[in-house]
Amino acid sequence: MRKVTAGLFYSVDGVAEAPDQFQFDSFDDELGAMLGSVMADVDTVLMGRVGYQEWAGYWPNAGQDMDFAGFINAVPKFVASDTLKPGDLGWSNSSLIEGDLEAFVRELKARPGGTIAVMGGMSLVSQLLLAGLMDELTLIMHPVISGKGRHLFDASMPTTRLKLLRSEITSKGNAVLTYGRKDG
């Protein structure tokens, strides 16, 4: 069965929104190598509406980070949205998830293929994690306090136990923590 994964850039105070506003100079060669190896296994991407619209406006014409641009423009992207229509998706290889999201992801996991990555959708990440459909959640914690921005999890979420699968500290002090759900 295929894995569903997500990786989010995170600040020490728990902000996951707009990492370009706090990431600054903490991105290092180790993170670049790690993200490159992750991309090599991913053949399907799940996105939320907001992330899709932001990324669709940038990545098709990106003038930098061409390795990621080549990957994200070519990979099949499935978009979870209650407001978008199929005709709204003009970015290459994009399809709207129609019907129940969790049923769609279960069926997608059962198909042959590589890793399914959730990108550009914090609410999508939390929904799939709480539904037991997220196999790995990687938090890339930068050594910075953002001070403002949206958190991945909020006070309305139930207590959910996780287990640490892998950890690494990079040369610039980034903590890369990969979790799975803890059963029982």
Domains plus CATH for the chain?
A: 4-181 (3.40.430.10)
The token pair that represents 170 in the structure block: 């990079």
pLDDT tens digit sequence for 145-158: 999 988 888 888 88
Question: How big is the CA angle at 68 (ends 53 and 131), to the nearest 5 degrees?
Answer: 60
User: pTM for the full model?
Assistant: 0.92
Predicted confidence at residue 173, as pLDDT, reads 95
- Which residues of the chain fall short of a pLDDT of 50? none
pLDDT tens digit sequence for 111-134: 999 999 999 888 999 999 999 999
pLDDT tens digit sequence for 157-169: 888 999 999 999 9
For residues 72 and 173, what is the distance between their CA atoms, to the nearest angstrom? 27
For residues 86 and 39, what is the distance between their CA atoms, to the nearest angstrom? 26
